[in-house]
Amino acid sequence: MRFFGDTLKAKFISRPNRFTVVCELESELVTAYLPNPGRLWELFFPGARLYLEKADSGGKLPYTVVAVEREDRPVILHTHKTNFVARHLIESGRVPGLVGAVIVKSEVTIGRSRFDFQLEKGGVNIYLEVKSCTLFGGGVAMFPDAVTARGKRHVEELASLAKTGAKCIVLFIVGSLEPDYFMPEYHTDLAFTRALLAVKSQIEVIALGVGWNPDLTLKEEVKTLKIPWTVVEQEAWDRGYYLLILKLTKAKSLEVGSLGVLEFKPGYYIYVGSAMNSLTKRLERHRRLRKKMHWHIDYLRHVCDFRAAIPIRTSIRIECELAEAVKRAADSEIPGFGSSDCACRSHLFYMPQDPLNSRSFHRMLQYFRMQKPIQRYL
Q: Which residues bind Zn ion (CB under 5 A)?
A: 320, 323, 339, 342, 344
* DSSP structural state of residue 203: S
**Is 144 or 336 the residue whose CB approaches Zn ion more closely?**
336
Compute the least distance from the CB of residue 342 to Zn ion, in Å.
3
Q: Shortest Cβ distance from residue 345 to Zn ion (Å)?
A: 9
Q: Smallest distance from the beta carbon of 327 to Zn ion, in angstroms? A: 10
**Closest CB to Zn ion among 179 and 336?**
336
Q: Find the shortest distance in angstroms from Cβ 319 to Zn ion.
A: 6
Of 6 and 341, nearer to Zn ion (C-beta) is 341
Measured from the CB of residue 320, what is the shortest distance to Zn ion in angstroms?
Answer: 3
Of 368, 300, 298, 301, the residue nearest 329 (C-alpha)? 368
CA neighbours closer than 13 Å in the CB half-sphere of residue 328: 12
For Zn ion, which is the closer residue by CB, 176 or 346?
A: 346
Residue pair 325/375 in contact (Cβ under 8 Å)? The answer is: no
Cβ of residue 338: shortest distance to Zn ion, in angstroms?
8
* Phi-psi map region of 151: left, alpha, beta (phi>0 left; psi -120 to 50 alpha): alpha
Closer to Zn ion by CB, 135 or 344: give it: 344
- List, as one string, the DSSP characters of 263-304: EE-SEEEEEEEEESS-HHHHHHHHH-S-S---SHHHHHHHHS
Beta partners for 311?
A: 242
* Nearest partner of 183 among 118, 150, 230, 241, judged by Cα: 230
User: Environment class of residue 215 by beta-carbon count within 10 Å: exposed (0-12), middle (13-18) or buried (19+)?
Assistant: exposed
> Would residue 71 be called left, alpha or beta, if left means φ above 0 and alpha means ψ between -120 and 50 degrees?
left
- The answer to whether 192 and 156 have CB atoms below 8 angstroms apart is no
Pairing type for strands 267-275 and 240-248 reads: antiparallel
CB of 302 to Zn ion, least distance (A): 23
DSSP 10-22: EEEEEEEETTEEE
Judged by beta carbon, residue 143 or residue 337, the one nearer Zn ion is 337
CB of 367 to Zn ion, least distance (A): 18
Nearer to Zn ion, 6 or 324 (CB): 324
Return the residue nearest Zn ion (CB atom): 344
Name which of 30 and 320 has its Cβ closer to Zn ion: 320
User: Where would I find the H helices in the chain?
Assistant: 82-91, 149-162, 190-199, 229-235, 279-287, 296-303, 319-329, 359-366, 372-377
Distances (CA, A) of 368 to 99, 243, 319, 342, 377: 37, 11, 11, 20, 14
Closer residue to Zn ion, CB minimum distance, 141 or 243: 243
Assess contact for 111 and 153: CB atoms under 8 A: no
